[in-house]
Each structure stands twice: as structure tokens, then as C-alpha cells.
């Protein structure tokens, strides 16, 4: 309890407060337990399977759930992308992704889902109230929303929602305060993401625009990537560049990744999950278009990868595999919206152009705007999210859902998609700026210079990600001792000497500060 109180005295008291509020909510709900009248399957006879669309229903459950699992899996891919960061900030980035996967999903469960899909109907189940601008049904999946169909939809949407936080994490990496990152979730997952999502996927006003078929976004180029990428840009802008990123004359430098192989692994993991994500977005197993969706996704990503790899080779003489991975992701982001509406040849073209959009935007953000985006999230997700939205308006061939783009001679769809782009930029850019502005001027969003230069991992998470004693050969104390000295230099040596003097009988001492054991060493051998 003393710990709890001590925690509450800390500056990020807001975070604590909101968290406690959530807990309170759950306790309240416990009182309702006995009143569930809408049992989802009381007798084990699977009533819904018989009631609605017969057999197709149970297939769709398997399809949506399994593809939903692969979407959650994509978070592992995001985590591996941290290989392009410096080793001293890896845990910080991974924790951001981890929080998106856990805290993000919980906030979405409490409120985001209800705001996004209130008033929506799926598989014959109409979820309570909502209008063209906002939904208000399904909070905490209580009452009427305790239904197998609603909860299937919740699962699929919750794992998608977690991406927003991970996209932002790539742009704010290596310098953002953990507390500010956490608090931003309470705005992003209750307002920014769910409302834009409601307008498009919740069949709100954007979905029903009168131009073409209205805004279409099959698997989130706009709802997920454009929104996430725009927020990532705003975050990176408000944070400012990492120390040493730009020289005094504004030339951008380069922080080499500590494990480029992680980037390759993460990218292919993401590609796997992406196939599930896009194909699963049919939300029905009977929609055989899923095969076109999956093939389009795969070859668009592949084309993006090959394009960037080849260009990097032509330009620098080195085949830059790290960049090629971002090219893969750029192609995947670009095809997410149009994947169901276009033919394979168009998918390849979209991937090729997506790679060019990525490279151009990377240059623009870094060289012109002087914004520091460590993992290129703005260019991969933001710019290609917008490009993906527009691509429907150009390449949709009318063979699915009646959506027809420029290549069939119709311009209306492109107008709808263009409006969706403008709205995404204005909404996420505007509210995101407001949010980061407030955070910056209250609790602060950036760590101190000392923390940034020492690394966020030891300072915020109490431990480096990697320990030096790789291989069995290292006597435990010896190696770690070196680490301790490197970390803190002169000053730390003094602390150690004092500690050993005080406790001369033990050969090792545990450093609370460093979280490691340190071996005593006779003073004379040090000199």
C-alpha cells in the first residue's frame, strides 16, 4: 500500500487515475453478473448456426477468428522491427508495442469498440444505437453485446486497433516518455481512431458519400495506416529529432540498426499476418474473393520490396536489405485498401508505385521537413495509407462490390477516396496535434538528454535488453563489471568503491541502479 501511495505522488498521476477508473468500472460490472438474459449458447445446441445463413455461419466464425489470430501475430512482426533501432532503446520500443497489444486492446474493449461499431450490423446481429457520426453501444461487451457474433467482430477489430499504437511507436522511438505514450492511448483509442473508423467501417458518413460507391477501405490503408501514420508524424514533429540526427547545417545523419536481421524477420512475419488480415477482412468465409485479396496482397508487397532493393542497389551499389523490408511493408500498406477491388496486374503496379511513394516521402520528411522518424513509420504507413485509399479510385475494375475506378472511366470513386484522405489528415493531424500539444505542456513528452544518451532501457525499464556475457566463457563478474563502468564512467566507479568498502567481505555486490551483480576488484589492479 505504501508503494501504491508513493506511486500516486508521482507526476503521472493522471495515468494512475484513469487506470483506477477502469478498475472501478470492472468492479461495478461484477454486480450485474446474474442478470445476463442473452445467453449466447445456453444448451450447447448452437442456435445461431441454425438460425442464420445455416452452415455458412460456422465457417465464417472459423475464418474470421483464425485470420484474427494472425492479425494479433503481426505484433510480433512490429516488435522485430526494433532491430533497426539502437540496442540501448530496444526494450523501450518493444514495450510500446507491448502496451499497444495489451493496454490499447483493453481501452478499445472498454469504450473504443462501442464508439466505432455501435449501430452496425454483422451476420444478422444489429448492435444497438449509433448514427452516421458516432456509435454508443457495446461498452465492455455488456448486456446485448454479450453475443457470439458481436464478440467475434470485437476480437477481429480489437487486434487491428492495436496497430495504431505500434505504428506511432516507430516514429516516436528512442526519445518519448513512457507516461506520455500511455496517456495518449486514452485519447487515441477512445476518440481519434474509433470515430474515423466509425465513419468508414462503421458505415458512417464517409462510407455513404454520394460519389462512386462511397469511401471504401477494404483492410485499413486509411482507417489504420493513414490515421496511424499521421499520428506518428505529429508525434515525431512535436518530439523533435533525436540528439545527433541532424548536423548544425541540417544534414540528416543515420543511426545504424543494432540488428538488421530482426528487420528481415519482422517484415516476413508481418507479410504472413498481413495475408490473414486482408483476406480475413471479407468477414465471411463464403466470400471467395478472399483468394484474389490474398494473392494481390502478396505480390504487391513483393513488388514493393524488389523495387526498393533494386533502386538502392542502383543508387548506392549496395543492396540495402533494411530499406527493401520497408519497401515490402510499403507495398503491403498500399494494397490494404484496394486488395479486393483490383486485378493482380494492378496490385503489382500499386506495389511498385507504393515503393516510390515510400522513397519519395522518406526523402521529403527527412530532408525537407527535418522530421526524425526512426523506423520510417510516416512514409511506410502514412504516405502509403493515403496512396492505398486513392488507388481504389484509380484501379478498381468493377468486379467486386460494384466499385469502379478511373480505369473503367468513372471518376466518382476517386473523389470519395480523396475526401477520405483529406478527412484522415485533418482529423488525425488536428486532434493529434492538440493532444501532443497538451501533453508537451503538462507532463512533457520527451525524456531528458541524459536518459536519451544513456538509453531509455536502463533508465525507464531498469535493464538493458542485452547482457554482455554472451557465450559460456565469460566469468559472470568480469564481463558485467566492464559493462557497469562503461555505463556510468567515472562516477559509477566511485559508487562501487564506496559500496565495496562498506561491504568488504562479499565478493559481489548487487547494484540496484544497474540491476546487475558487480564483482569486487582490488584497487591496485585497476591502475
Q: Please, which of residues 240-279 interact with a second copy by CB under 8 A? A: 244, 247, 253-261, 264-265, 267-269, 271-272, 275-276, 279
149-173 core/surface letters (b: 16 or more CB in 10 A; e: else): bbbbbbbbbbbbbbbbbbbbbbbbb
C-beta of 440: minimal distance to a second copy in Å?
21
Structure-block grid coordinates of residue 447: 525524456
413 part of the interface to a second copy, by CB under 8 A: no
Question: How far lies 192's CA from each of 73, 228, 437, in Å?
Answer: 24, 10, 15
Which of 24, 36, 131, 208 binds a second copy (CB under 8 A)? It is 36
**Which set of grid coordinates corresponds to residue 406?**
478511373
Task: Give which of 238, 302, 269 is closest to 80, Cα–Cα.
Answer: 269
Verify binding: residue 473, a second copy, rule CB under 8 A. yes
Q: Which of residues 90-109 bind a second copy (CB under 8 A)?
A: 90-91, 94-95, 97-99, 101-103, 105-106, 109
Site for a second copy in 321-340 (CB under 8 A): 321-322, 324-325, 328
- Dihedrals phi, psi of 374, to nearest 5 degrees: -50, -45
Contacting a second copy within 418-457 (CB under 8 A): 454-457
User: Closest approach of Cβ 420 to a second copy, in Å?
Assistant: 21
Q: Report how far residue 270's alpha carbon sits from residue 367's, in angstroms, rounded to the nearest whole number.
A: 28
Cα separation of 45 and 286, whole Å?
Answer: 23
Burial of 4 (0-12, 13-18, 19+ CB in 10 A): exposed
**Between the CA of residue 93 and those of 74, 96, 267, 269, what are the distances in Å?**
15, 5, 16, 18
Residue 130 φ/ψ, nearest 5 degrees: 170, 155
Q: Which is nearer to a second copy, 180 or 325 (CB)?
A: 325
Q: Of 480, 496, 518, 520, which one interacts with a second copy (CB under 8 A)? A: 480
Range 42-71, binding a second copy (CB under 8 A): 42-44, 46, 48-49, 55-59, 61-70
Sign of CA dihedral 58, 61, 64, 68: negative
Shorter beta-carbon distance to a second copy: residue 355 or 383: 355
Q: CB of residue 227 vs a second copy: minimum separation in angstroms?
A: 21
Q: How many residues bind a second copy (CB under 8 A)?
A: 181
Where is 134: in which H helix or E strand?
Answer: none
Cell representation of residue 104: 490499447
Residues in contact with a second copy, shown as a per-residue x/- string from 295 to 314 under the rule CB under 8 A? x--xx-xxx-xx--xxx-xx
Q: Residue 385 Cβ, how far from a second copy at the closest point, in Å?
A: 21
Interface of this chain with a second copy, residues 8 to 27, rule: CB under 8 A: 16, 19, 23, 26
Q: Which is nearer to a second copy, 129 or 515 (CB)?
A: 515
Site for a second copy in 214-243 (CB under 8 A): none
Contact criterion met (CB below 8 Å) for 303 and 335: no
d(CA 163, CA 482) in angstroms, rounded, equals: 39
Which cell numbers in the block locate residue 181? 505514450
Minimum CB separation of residue 269 from a second copy in Å reads 6
Least spacing, CB of residue 469 vs a second copy, in Å? 6
Q: Which is nearer to a second copy, 129 or 244 (CB)?
A: 244
Nearer to a second copy, 210 or 409 (CB): 409
Stretch of 203-211, 212-220, 291-299, 372-380 contacting a second copy, by CB under 8 A: 291-299
CA nearest 88: which of 518, 365, 447?
Answer: 447
- When the beta carbons of 15 and 237 are compared against a second copy, the nearer one is 15
Binding status of residue 185 toward a second copy by CB under 8 A: no
105-144 binders of a second copy (CB under 8 A):
105-106, 109, 140-142
Give the C-alpha separation, 524 to 348, whole Å.
68
For a second copy, the binding residues in 352-371 under the rule CB under 8 A are 352
Amino acid at each position: 500500500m505504501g508503494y501504491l501511495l508513493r506511486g500516486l505522488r508521482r507526476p503521472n498521476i493522471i495515468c494512475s487515475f484513469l487506470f483506477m477508473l477502469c478498475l472501478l468500472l470492472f468492479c461495478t460490472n461484477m454486480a450485474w453478473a446474474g442478470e445476463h438474459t442473452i445467453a449466447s449458447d445456453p444448451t450447447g445446441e448452437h442456435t445461431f448456426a441454425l438460425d442464420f445463413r445455416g452452415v455458412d455461419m460456422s465457417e465464417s466464425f472459423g475464418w474470421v477468428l483464425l485470420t484474427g489470430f494472425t492479425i494479433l501475430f503481426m505484433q510480433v512482426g512490429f516488435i522485430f522491427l526494433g532491430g533497426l533501432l539502437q540496442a540501448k532503446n530496444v526494450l523501450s520500443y518493444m514495450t510500446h508495442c507491448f502496451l499497444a497489444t495489451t493496454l490499447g486492446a483493453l481501452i478499445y474493449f472498454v469504450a473504443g469498440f462501442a464508439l466505432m461499431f455501435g449501430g452496425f450490423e454483422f451476420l444478422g446481429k444489429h448492435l444497438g444505437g449509433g448514427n452516421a457520426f458516432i456509435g454508443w453501444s457495446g461498452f465492455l461487451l455488456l448486456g446485448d453485446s454479450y453475443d457470439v457474433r458481436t464478440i467475434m467482430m470485437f476480437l477481429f477489430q480489437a487486434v487491428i486497433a492495436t496497430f495504431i499504437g505500434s505504428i506511432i511507436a516507430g516514429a516516436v522511438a528512442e526519445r518519448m516518455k513512457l507516461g506520455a505514450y500511455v496517456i495518449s492511448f486514452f485519447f487515441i483509442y477512445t476518440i481519434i481512431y474509433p470515430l474515423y473508423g466509425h465513419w468508414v467501417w462503421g458505415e458512417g458518413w464517409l462510407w455513404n458519400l454520394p460519389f462512386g460507391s462511397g469511401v471504401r477501405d477494404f483492410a485499413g490503408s486509411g482507417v489504420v495506416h493513414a490515421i496511424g501514420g499521421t499520428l506518428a508524424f505529429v508525434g515525431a514533429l512535436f518530439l523533435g529529432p533525436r540528439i545527433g540526427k541532424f548536423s548544425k547545417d541540417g544534414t540528416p545523419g543515420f543511426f545504424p540498426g543494432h540488428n538488421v536481421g530482426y528487420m528481415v524477420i519482422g517484415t516476413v512475419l508481418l507479410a504472413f499476418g498481413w495475408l490473414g488480415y486482408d483476406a480475413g477482412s471479407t468477414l465471411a468465409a463464403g466470400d471467395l474473393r478472399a483468394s484474389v485479396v490474398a494473392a494481390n496482397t502478396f505480390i504487391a508487397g513483393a513488388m514493393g520490396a524488389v523495387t526498393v532493393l533494386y533502386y538502392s542497389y542502383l543508387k548506392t551499389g549496395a543492396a540495402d536489405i533494411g530499406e527493401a523490408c520497408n519497401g515490402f511493408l510499403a507495398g503491403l500498406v498500399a494494397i490494404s485498401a484496394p486488395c479486393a477491388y483490383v486485378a493482380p496486374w494492378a496490385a503489382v503496379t500499386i506495389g511498385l508505385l507504393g515503393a516510390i511513394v515510400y522513397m519519395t516521402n522518406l526523402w521529403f520528411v527527412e530532408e525537407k521537413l527535418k522530421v526524425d522518424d526512426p523506423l520510417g513509420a510516416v512514409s511506410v504507413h502514412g504516405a502509403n495509407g493515403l496512396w492505398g485509399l486513392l488507388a481504389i479510385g484509380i484501379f478498381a475494375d468493377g468486379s467486386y462490390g460494384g466499385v469502379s475506378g478511373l480505369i473503367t472511366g468513372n471518376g466518382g470513386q476517386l473523389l470519395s477516396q480523396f475526401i477520405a484522405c483529406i478527412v484522415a489528415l485533418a482529423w488525425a493531424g488536428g486532434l493529434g496535434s492538440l493532444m501532443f500539444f497538451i501533453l508537451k505542456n503538462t507532463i512533457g513528452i520527451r525524456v531528458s538528454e541524459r536518459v536519451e544518451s544513456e538509453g531509455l532501457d536502463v533508465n525507464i525499464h531498469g535493464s538493458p535488453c542485452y547482457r554482455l556475457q554472451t557465450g559460456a566463457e565469460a566469468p559472470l563478474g568480469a564481463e558485467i563489471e566492464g559493462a557497469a563502468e562503461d555505463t556510468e564512467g567515472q562516477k559509477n566507479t566511485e559508487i562501487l568503491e564506496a559500496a565495496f568498502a562498506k561491504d568488504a567481505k562479499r565478493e559481489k555486490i548487487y547494484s540496484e541502479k544497474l540491476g546487475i551483480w558487480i564483482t569486487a576488484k582490488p584497487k591496485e589492479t585497476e591502475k
